[in-house]
Structure 1
Protein backbone atom coordinates (compact mmCIF):
# COMPACT_ATOMS: atom_id res chain seq x y z
CA UNK A 1 0.00 0.00 0.00
CA UNK A 2 1.06 3.55 -0.60
CA UNK A 3 0.24 6.63 1.47
CA UNK A 4 0.99 10.32 1.54
CA UNK A 5 0.70 11.76 5.06
CA UNK A 6 0.19 15.44 5.64
CA UNK A 7 0.34 16.91 9.10
CA UNK A 8 -2.59 19.32 9.30
CA UNK A 9 -4.12 21.91 11.61
CA UNK A 10 -7.47 20.91 10.11
CA UNK A 11 -8.85 19.16 7.04
CA UNK A 12 -12.19 18.34 5.45
CA UNK A 13 -13.74 16.47 2.54
CA UNK A 14 -16.78 17.63 0.58
CA UNK A 15 -18.85 15.68 -1.95
CA UNK A 16 -21.40 17.50 -4.11
CA UNK A 17 -20.75 20.72 -2.17
CA UNK A 18 -21.50 19.15 1.22
CA UNK A 19 -18.82 18.51 3.87
CA UNK A 20 -18.96 14.80 4.72
CA UNK A 21 -15.92 14.58 7.05
CA UNK A 22 -13.65 16.95 8.91
CA UNK A 23 -10.91 16.84 11.52
CA UNK A 24 -8.94 19.19 13.71
CA UNK A 25 -5.19 18.82 14.30
CA UNK A 26 -3.78 15.53 13.09
CA UNK A 27 -3.07 13.78 9.81
CA UNK A 28 -4.62 13.77 6.37
CA UNK A 29 -3.77 10.36 4.90
CA UNK A 30 -4.12 9.92 1.15
CA UNK A 31 -3.99 6.16 0.60
CA UNK A 32 -3.80 3.89 -2.45
CA UNK A 33 -4.14 0.12 -2.57
CA UNK A 34 -1.83 -1.36 -5.19
CA UNK A 35 -2.31 -4.59 -7.11
CA UNK A 36 -1.43 -7.55 -4.89
CA UNK A 37 -1.72 -5.63 -1.60
CA UNK A 38 -3.01 -7.56 1.40
CA UNK A 39 -4.75 -6.92 4.70
CA UNK A 40 -1.41 -7.63 6.39
CA UNK A 41 0.15 -4.72 4.49
CA UNK A 42 -2.80 -2.48 5.38
CA UNK A 43 -2.35 -3.34 9.06
CA UNK A 44 1.40 -2.71 8.85
CA UNK A 45 0.80 0.68 7.21
CA UNK A 46 -1.77 1.67 9.84
CA UNK A 47 0.60 0.65 12.64
CA UNK A 48 3.49 2.59 11.09
CA UNK A 49 1.36 5.72 10.71
CA UNK A 50 0.10 5.50 14.30
CA UNK A 51 3.68 5.36 15.63
CA UNK A 52 5.44 7.75 13.23
CA UNK A 53 6.96 10.57 15.27
CA UNK A 54 6.26 13.63 13.14
CA UNK A 55 4.68 15.98 15.69
CA UNK A 56 6.72 18.39 17.78
CA UNK A 57 7.39 17.80 21.44
CA UNK A 58 7.82 20.55 24.05
CA UNK A 59 11.37 21.15 22.76
CA UNK A 60 10.28 21.67 19.16
CA UNK A 61 11.64 18.29 17.95
CA UNK A 62 9.56 15.89 15.88
CA UNK A 63 9.31 13.32 18.62
CA UNK A 64 5.58 12.63 19.06
CA UNK A 65 3.13 10.46 17.13
CA UNK A 66 -0.45 11.27 16.19
CA UNK A 67 -1.47 8.95 19.04
CA UNK A 68 0.77 10.87 21.49
CA UNK A 69 -0.79 14.13 20.28
CA UNK A 70 -4.35 12.87 20.58
CA UNK A 71 -4.70 13.91 16.94
CA UNK A 72 -7.35 12.89 14.46
CA UNK A 73 -6.91 11.20 11.09
CA UNK A 74 -8.78 11.88 7.85
CA UNK A 75 -8.35 9.00 5.39
CA UNK A 76 -9.00 9.69 1.71
CA UNK A 77 -8.73 7.08 -1.04
CA UNK A 78 -6.37 8.35 -3.74
CA UNK A 79 -5.78 5.92 -6.64
CA UNK A 80 -3.67 8.55 -8.43
CA UNK A 81 -0.83 7.77 -6.00
CA UNK A 82 -0.28 4.75 -8.26
CA UNK A 83 0.58 7.03 -11.21
CA UNK A 84 3.29 5.75 -13.51
CA UNK A 85 4.87 8.73 -15.27
CA UNK A 86 8.01 7.05 -16.64
CA UNK A 87 6.98 7.39 -20.26
CA UNK A 88 4.83 9.85 -22.15
CA UNK A 89 2.85 12.69 -20.66
CA UNK A 90 -0.26 10.84 -19.54
CA UNK A 91 0.07 8.96 -16.23
CA UNK A 92 -0.84 5.28 -16.17
CA UNK A 93 -2.69 3.74 -13.23
CA UNK A 94 -2.49 0.04 -14.07
CA UNK A 95 -0.61 -0.75 -10.83
CA UNK A 96 -3.53 0.42 -8.66
CA UNK A 97 -5.78 -2.26 -7.23
CA UNK A 98 -9.08 -2.87 -8.99
CA UNK A 99 -11.85 -0.64 -7.56
CA UNK A 100 -13.59 -3.37 -5.54
CA UNK A 101 -10.32 -4.56 -4.00
CA UNK A 102 -9.16 -0.97 -3.49
CA UNK A 103 -12.33 -0.12 -1.58
CA UNK A 104 -12.08 -3.27 0.55
CA UNK A 105 -8.48 -2.47 1.54
CA UNK A 106 -9.29 1.23 2.07
CA UNK A 107 -12.03 0.30 4.55
CA UNK A 108 -9.83 -2.33 6.21
CA UNK A 109 -6.98 0.20 6.57
CA UNK A 110 -9.31 2.84 8.05
CA UNK A 111 -10.72 0.28 10.50
CA UNK A 112 -7.16 -0.76 11.45
CA UNK A 113 -6.35 2.86 12.39
CA UNK A 114 -9.47 2.99 14.57
CA UNK A 115 -8.48 -0.26 16.29
CA UNK A 116 -5.18 1.43 17.18
CA UNK A 117 -7.16 4.02 19.15
CA UNK A 118 -7.28 6.83 16.61
CA UNK A 119 -10.28 8.99 15.81
CA UNK A 120 -10.74 8.37 12.07
CA UNK A 121 -12.83 10.33 9.58
CA UNK A 122 -13.17 9.12 5.99
CA UNK A 123 -13.66 10.40 2.51
CA UNK A 124 -16.08 8.66 0.15
CA UNK A 125 -14.46 5.96 -1.95
CA UNK A 126 -14.79 6.61 -5.68
CA UNK A 127 -16.45 10.00 -5.28
CA UNK A 128 -15.34 13.30 -6.79
CA UNK A 129 -14.09 14.77 -3.51
CA UNK A 130 -12.95 18.27 -2.70
CA UNK A 131 -10.30 18.09 0.00
CA UNK A 132 -9.41 21.17 2.02
CA UNK A 133 -6.49 21.26 4.41
CA UNK A 134 -4.34 23.61 6.37
CA UNK A 135 -0.83 22.16 6.34
CA UNK A 136 1.05 22.21 9.62
CA UNK A 137 4.76 22.67 9.03
CA UNK A 138 4.31 21.77 6.24
CA UNK A 139 5.16 18.16 6.90
CA UNK A 140 4.51 15.55 4.20
CA UNK A 141 5.72 11.95 4.37
CA UNK A 142 5.52 9.32 1.61
CA UNK A 143 5.14 5.69 2.71
CA UNK A 144 5.25 2.48 0.67
CA UNK A 145 4.55 -0.78 2.50
Structure 2
Protein backbone atom coordinates (compact mmCIF):
# COMPACT_ATOMS: atom_id res chain seq x y z
CA UNK A 1 0.00 0.00 0.00
CA UNK A 2 1.23 3.44 -0.93
CA UNK A 3 0.05 6.93 -0.12
CA UNK A 4 0.85 10.51 -0.90
CA UNK A 5 -0.09 12.66 2.08
CA UNK A 6 -0.25 16.39 1.45
CA UNK A 7 -0.88 19.02 4.09
CA UNK A 8 -3.64 21.29 2.78
CA UNK A 9 -5.68 24.27 3.85
CA UNK A 10 -8.49 23.05 1.57
CA UNK A 11 -9.13 20.26 -0.92
CA UNK A 12 -12.03 18.88 -2.92
CA UNK A 13 -13.02 16.10 -5.29
CA UNK A 14 -15.44 16.71 -8.14
CA UNK A 15 -17.15 14.01 -10.22
CA UNK A 16 -19.29 14.96 -13.23
CA UNK A 17 -19.46 18.57 -12.07
CA UNK A 18 -20.58 17.66 -8.53
CA UNK A 19 -18.36 18.12 -5.47
CA UNK A 20 -18.46 14.72 -3.76
CA UNK A 21 -15.95 15.43 -1.00
CA UNK A 22 -14.31 18.56 0.37
CA UNK A 23 -12.39 19.82 3.37
CA UNK A 24 -11.79 23.45 4.31
CA UNK A 25 -9.40 23.86 7.20
CA UNK A 26 -7.38 27.08 7.04
CA UNK A 27 -6.99 27.18 10.84
CA UNK A 28 -5.71 23.66 11.60
CA UNK A 29 -4.74 22.37 8.18
CA UNK A 30 -5.81 18.95 7.00
CA UNK A 31 -4.60 16.08 4.85
CA UNK A 32 -5.28 15.10 1.30
CA UNK A 33 -4.55 11.36 1.34
CA UNK A 34 -4.11 9.71 -2.07
CA UNK A 35 -4.01 5.99 -1.26
CA UNK A 36 -3.14 3.14 -3.62
CA UNK A 37 -3.90 -0.45 -2.65
CA UNK A 38 -1.43 -3.01 -3.95
CA UNK A 39 -2.25 -6.45 -5.29
CA UNK A 40 0.16 -8.10 -2.81
CA UNK A 41 -0.37 -5.89 0.25
CA UNK A 42 -0.16 -7.57 3.64
CA UNK A 43 -3.61 -8.16 5.18
CA UNK A 44 -2.93 -5.62 7.93
CA UNK A 45 -1.35 -2.92 5.70
CA UNK A 46 -4.53 -0.85 5.93
CA UNK A 47 -4.10 -0.62 9.72
CA UNK A 48 -0.60 0.80 9.30
CA UNK A 49 -1.92 3.30 6.77
CA UNK A 50 -4.67 4.42 9.16
CA UNK A 51 -2.09 4.96 11.89
CA UNK A 52 0.19 6.95 9.57
CA UNK A 53 -2.64 9.17 8.29
CA UNK A 54 -3.89 9.83 11.81
CA UNK A 55 -0.61 10.13 13.69
CA UNK A 56 2.18 11.41 11.42
CA UNK A 57 3.26 14.79 12.76
CA UNK A 58 3.18 16.66 9.47
CA UNK A 59 0.74 19.46 10.21
CA UNK A 60 1.88 22.90 11.30
CA UNK A 61 3.86 22.84 14.54
CA UNK A 62 4.74 19.16 14.09
CA UNK A 63 1.24 18.10 15.05
CA UNK A 64 -0.87 15.27 13.68
CA UNK A 65 -4.43 15.00 12.41
CA UNK A 66 -5.32 13.43 15.76
CA UNK A 67 -3.58 16.19 17.75
CA UNK A 68 -5.60 19.03 16.22
CA UNK A 69 -8.79 17.30 15.03
CA UNK A 70 -7.92 18.01 11.41
CA UNK A 71 -10.02 16.58 8.57
CA UNK A 72 -8.87 14.14 5.89
CA UNK A 73 -9.89 13.93 2.24
CA UNK A 74 -9.31 10.29 1.25
CA UNK A 75 -8.97 9.50 -2.46
CA UNK A 76 -8.27 6.07 -3.95
CA UNK A 77 -5.31 6.30 -6.34
CA UNK A 78 -4.35 3.04 -8.07
CA UNK A 79 -1.85 4.91 -10.24
CA UNK A 80 0.55 5.13 -7.29
CA UNK A 81 1.43 1.52 -8.16
CA UNK A 82 2.38 2.34 -11.74
CA UNK A 83 5.74 0.94 -12.80
CA UNK A 84 7.68 3.03 -15.30
CA UNK A 85 11.02 1.24 -15.55
CA UNK A 86 10.42 -0.02 -19.07
CA UNK A 87 8.90 1.60 -22.09
CA UNK A 88 6.68 4.65 -22.25
CA UNK A 89 3.47 3.19 -20.85
CA UNK A 90 3.18 2.59 -17.08
CA UNK A 91 2.31 -0.91 -15.95
CA UNK A 92 -0.56 -1.14 -13.44
CA UNK A 93 -0.06 -4.84 -12.66
CA UNK A 94 1.00 -4.11 -9.06
CA UNK A 95 -2.26 -2.28 -8.30
CA UNK A 96 -5.07 -4.24 -6.68
CA UNK A 97 -8.16 -4.76 -8.85
CA UNK A 98 -11.20 -2.71 -7.87
CA UNK A 99 -12.99 -5.57 -6.13
CA UNK A 100 -9.98 -6.00 -3.84
CA UNK A 101 -9.11 -2.32 -3.39
CA UNK A 102 -12.50 -0.72 -2.75
CA UNK A 103 -13.21 -2.57 0.53
CA UNK A 104 -9.72 -1.66 1.78
CA UNK A 105 -10.30 2.04 1.07
CA UNK A 106 -13.62 1.78 2.91
CA UNK A 107 -11.87 0.07 5.86
CA UNK A 108 -9.40 2.93 6.04
CA UNK A 109 -12.18 5.53 5.99
CA UNK A 110 -14.18 3.68 8.66
CA UNK A 111 -11.17 3.23 10.93
CA UNK A 112 -10.26 6.91 10.66
CA UNK A 113 -13.85 7.84 11.55
CA UNK A 114 -13.75 5.45 14.52
CA UNK A 115 -10.81 7.54 15.76
CA UNK A 116 -13.05 10.61 15.64
CA UNK A 117 -11.49 12.02 12.47
CA UNK A 118 -13.70 13.83 9.97
CA UNK A 119 -13.25 12.01 6.65
CA UNK A 120 -14.46 13.07 3.23
CA UNK A 121 -13.92 10.80 0.23
CA UNK A 122 -13.66 10.72 -3.50
CA UNK A 123 -15.80 8.28 -5.48
CA UNK A 124 -14.09 4.94 -6.05
CA UNK A 125 -13.50 4.12 -9.71
CA UNK A 126 -14.80 7.47 -10.98
CA UNK A 127 -12.96 9.99 -13.12
CA UNK A 128 -12.27 12.62 -10.46
CA UNK A 129 -10.94 16.14 -10.50
CA UNK A 130 -8.96 16.71 -7.31
CA UNK A 131 -8.19 20.27 -6.27
CA UNK A 132 -6.04 21.29 -3.34
CA UNK A 133 -4.45 24.31 -1.76
CA UNK A 134 -1.22 22.84 -0.47
CA UNK A 135 0.10 24.19 2.80
CA UNK A 136 3.85 24.54 2.95
CA UNK A 137 3.92 22.81 0.53
CA UNK A 138 4.41 19.72 2.63
CA UNK A 139 4.01 16.28 1.01
CA UNK A 140 5.28 12.86 2.10
CA UNK A 141 5.25 9.42 0.50
CA UNK A 142 4.15 6.57 2.74
CA UNK A 143 4.59 2.83 2.21
CA UNK A 144 2.67 0.42 4.43
Question: Normalized against structure 1, the TM-score is what?
Answer: 0.93
> Are residue 99 (structure 1) and residue 98 (structure 2) matched?
yes
Kindly provide the CA deviation profile for residues 88-130 of structure 1, in whole angstroms up to 9, marking residues without a partner as x: 1110000000110011111111111111221000000000001
Question: How many Å separate the matches in 1 of 2:53 and 2:74?
Answer: 12
Q: 2:35 is matched with which residue?
A: 31
Q: Secondary structure at the match of 2:44?
A: helix
Q: 1:6 is matched with which residue?
A: 6
Question: What runs of 5+ residues in structure 2 fail to find an aligned partner?
Answer: none
What is the alpha-carbon root mean square deviation over aligned residues?
A: 1.0
Question: How many Å separate the matches in 1 of 2:35 and 2:89?
Answer: 21
> Are residue 55 (structure 1) and residue 78 (structure 2) matched?
no
Question: What runs of 5+ residues in structure 1 fail to find an aligned partner?
Answer: 58-62
More strand by share: 1
Q: 1:60 is matched with which residue?
A: none
> Are residue 140 (structure 1) and residue 144 (structure 2) matched?
no
Q: 1:44 is matched with which residue?
A: 48
Preserved contact between residue 39 and residue 108 of structure 1 (Cα < 8 Å) = no
